Amino acid sequence: TQKKSAGSEMAVSISPAPSCFKADVWAYFGFKKKDSDFMDKTLAVCKLCHTSVKNSGNTTNLQAHLKRHHPDKVMLAEELHRDPKQTRLDSDGMFSHKLPTTSPRSQNITETIAYFIRQDLRSYSVVENAGFRRMVNAMEPRYQIPTREHLTKVCVPRLYAQTKAHVKASIDSAERVALTCNGWTSRTTEAYVTIKTHFINEEWELVNYVLQTMDKPESHTGQNLAEHLRKALTEWGITEKDPVIVTDNASNMSIAAAEAAFSLHVKCYAHTLNLAAQRALKVTAVARLLGRVRRIVSFFRRSTTGSHILKEKQMFLRLPQHKLMTDVVTRLLSDHHLHVEATETDNFLTQLLFALQMTRICAPDVTTAEDVVSALKPMKEASQYMSKEKIPSPSVIAPLQDTLLNGLKPIEGESSVMKDMKAAI
């Protein structure tokens, strides 16, 4: 740096302290140099604020200046003295400090990143992304971001162990527990089995934990599932708690529950509702309508032109702007969504199909769709109620069953489609 004296044009520069000045504090101070041969060592000049400080042959005044005016630099100087490998000087002669990985602040940030990856289901590679690294560096430039390998082998396993210990202690305090077991397939056609536990804690609150979700590429036979359940019971110390198991109505689940020696096996009532609804959808008139609606929905999902026209018509008719859904047999009453949307959008689907030179929806089909929606609505509401996690659901099965059966009684004057659906359900 250079500055002008008040009464002279002669430039005065600040030169670094000679190498014989070995104290750490001299990294922040230098001396005025008026010419090539003379350096005024009676006054040290702060490189940070250009203040002159009296040099008495020791660093007492210099350290006092830093503590009073630049306390953050005092901390860095102390860190340098304690661990010089963690601190170096940058191109400006200032400290470029890196937090030790064992420091409390560094460990806390690392644990927070591991929690972020776990809680938000992020990939381990997020720590290698340029945007993530820039954000972390802006918040704490001294922090050394861990590698994905460190997260995979150290941080997340430690977090899993802590969480597992907490869940295990919670289960141990329960007098009795119930399990739910479900086999499912991902969108990438990978097979998994998920086991959850449910119990009432000491505060009379309903508690639910996912104990494990494991890939099971082998066949989901009753024997294989039974072995999987036995291992889970042993691992989590549940065997002595006389556990009850809840599964769907599949035969392999019934075999697994029997071979794993559960005292009670309860069939999922929501799945029973779904099976009853699926039976109703096989009524001839309904199945024919379903096929036609699926083709319509498929067209609008695959065609960019059709999707654009659909949005325009929804805006024109002031209807909810959403995509048409396809039905999935194993999803509870998902066909009901399809029929609701088909009925809701019928008044413009006819126009669209005519414009696109496709088969129009005729009036009988519209009537059938309305009957399907009416017949499945109580089933859908019952299924949603049974799928809640924060209420003990067995107590509502009997009143739901009675209400549904009463609602399925034939009514004089209703359509043949409605009667056939009620009978099937």
Q: Would you list the domain boundaries of the chain? A: 2-97, 104-168, 173-267, 273-424
**CA 83 to the chain's CA centroid:** 39
Would the CA dihedral through 47, 51, 52, 55 be positive or negative?
negative
How many angstroms separate the Cα of 296 from the Cα of each of 278, 285, 336, 356? Answer: 21, 17, 16, 11
373 vs 250: which has the higher pLDDT: 250
- Please tell me the predicted confidence (pLDDT) of residue 7: 40
**What does the pLDDT look like over 60-73, one tens digit per residue?**
888 888 888 887 66
Q: How far is 94 from 161, CA to CA, in rounded Å?
A: 42
The pLDDT, as a whole number, for residue 210 is: 94
Predicted local distance difference test score (pLDDT) of residue 305: 81
Q: What is the pLDDT of residue 59?
A: 82
Local confidence band at 76 (pLDDT 50, 70, 90 cut-offs): low
**What is the chain's length?**
425
Q: Residue 129's pLDDT band (boundaries 50, 70, 90)? A: very high
**How many helices and strands (H and E) does the chain possess?**
16, 12
User: Quick one: average pLDDT of 297-310?
Assistant: 80
Tell which residue, 91, 86, 85, 95, has the closest CA to residue 24.
95
State residue 96's pLDDT score. Answer: 53
The more confident residue out of 39 and 148 is 148
Dmax of the chain from CA atoms? Answer: 116
Place of tokens 């036995």: 230
Say if CB 238 and CB 179 are below 8 A apart.
yes
Mind listing the pLDDT tens digit for each residue in 208-243?
999 999 988 888 899 999 999 999 999 999 998 999
pLDDT tops 70 at residue 19: no
Question: Of residues 8 and 128, which shows the higher confidence score?
Answer: 128
Average pLDDT score over residue span 262-284 = 90
Q: Mean per-residue pLDDT for 160-166?
A: 94
Of 415 and 17, the structure prediction assigns the larger pLDDT to 415
Phi, psi of 359 (to 5 degrees): -65, 130
pLDDT tens-digit readout, 336-365? 444 444 455 455 555 455 444 445 556 677
Q: What token pair was written down for 70?
A: 């630049």
Which alpha helices (DSSP H) does 83-190 contain, by range?
104-119, 130-139, 148-150, 156-172
Region 160-165: mean pLDDT is 94
User: Would the CA dihedral through 127, 133, 138, 140 be positive or negative?
Assistant: positive
Six token digits for residue 392: 């003990």
Q: Between helices 304-316 and 346-355, what is the axis angle to 10°?
A: 140
- Architecture field, domain 173-267: 2-Layer Sandwich (3.30)
3-state secondary structure of 362: coil
CA atoms within 13 A on the CB side of 28: 25
Bridge partner residues of 180 (DSSP): 196, 246
* Of 153 and 34, the one with more pLDDT: 153
| Per-residue confidence (pLDDT) for residue 331, from 0 to 100 | 53
For residue 304, which phi and psi values (nearest 5 degrees)? -70, -35
Q: What percent of the chain has pLDDT over 90?
A: 37
pLDDT band for position 87 (cuts 50, 70, 90): very low
Q: Is the pLDDT of residue 398 over 50?
A: yes
Mean pLDDT check: name the lowest of 68-77, 260-269, 336-345, 379-388: 336-345
pLDDT band at 244; cut points 50, 70, 90: very high
Assign 313 a pLDDT band (cuts: 50, 70, 90): confident
Reported as type and span, the H/E element at residue 288 is helix 284-302
Q: How confident is the model at residue 9 (pLDDT cuts 50, 70, 90)?
A: very low
Provide the pLDDT for residue 211: 94
| Mean pLDDT, the chain, whole residue set | 80
Cα 415–420–421 angle (5° rounding)? 100
Tokens (6 digits) for 11: 């430039």
| pLDDT for position 284 | 92
Q: Give pLDDT, residue 224.
A: 92
Q: Rounded distance, CA 123 to CA 286, Å?
A: 44
Q: Is 60 exceeded by the pLDDT of residue 248?
A: yes
pLDDT tens, position by position, 93-120:
444 568 888 889 999 999 999 999 999 9
Q: pLDDT value at position 157?
A: 94
CB-based burial label for 301 (10 Å; 0-12, 13-18, 19+): middle
State how far Cα 380 lies from the chain centre.
27
CA–CA separation, 424 vs 278, rounded Å?
9
User: What is the rounded distance in angstroms from the CA atom of residue 45 to the CA atom of residue 2?
Assistant: 12
Query: Could you identify the residue written with the tokens 């697994």?
Result: 256
* Most confident region among 219-228, 315-324, 345-354, 380-389 by mean pLDDT: 219-228
pLDDT, residue 292, reads: 80
